[in-house]
Structure 1
Amino acid sequence: MAKVSVSLDAELVVEVMVLTGVGSPQDAVELVVRDYIERGHRTEARTAARDEALRDVDGRQPDVEG
């Protein structure tokens, strides 16, 4: 896998290290980025399921009264 080098503010990296409980700055930032991506995928899956359910409800024929 290709690697990318990014410069970050030291206070930001230390905060990430404390929050993740990881001693390596590289590993801590990588964990945060991976978690962010996974959350995005989970959110997409939830909203897709909700949208599908709404389409099913909207697609039904209305009951005929009378």
Structure 2
Amino acid sequence: MAKVNIGLDAELVVEVMVLAGVGSPQDAVEVVVRDYIARGHRTEARVGLEVRGRRETESKPQEQQG
């Protein structure tokens, strides 16, 4: 996998290290990025299910009331 070097504020990285419970700045940032990506996938899946559910509801013929 390709590597990217970036500069971040040290206080920010230390806070992430503490919250994530990891001892390496690189590992801490990697944990945050992976979590962000996973949340995005979960959100996409949830929204996709809602949209599919609405489509199925809209496509079913409505029962006549009377």
TM norm structure 1? 0.93
Per the alignment, residue 45 of structure 2 pairs with 45
Which residue of 2 is the match for residue 21 of structure 1? 21
Please list every run of 5 or more consecutive structure 1 residues that lacks an aligned counterpart in the other structure. Answer: none
Hey, what does 1:30 align to over in structure 2?
A: 30
> What's the CA shift for 1:65?
4.1
Gaps of 5+ in 2: none
Q: Kindly provide the amino acid, as one letter, of the partner of residue 33 in structure 1.
A: V
Aligned length: 66
SS of 2:46 mapped into structure 1: helix
The structural deviation recorded for 1:50 is: 1.0
Match of 1:7 in 2: 7
Shift of 1:64: 3.0
Amino acid at match of 2:17: M
Q: Give the Cα separation in 2 of the matches to 1:65 and 1:28.
A: 59
Counterpart in 2 of 1:64? 64
Q: Which runs of 4+ in 1 moved over 6 A?
A: none
The Cα RMSD (Å) is 1.0
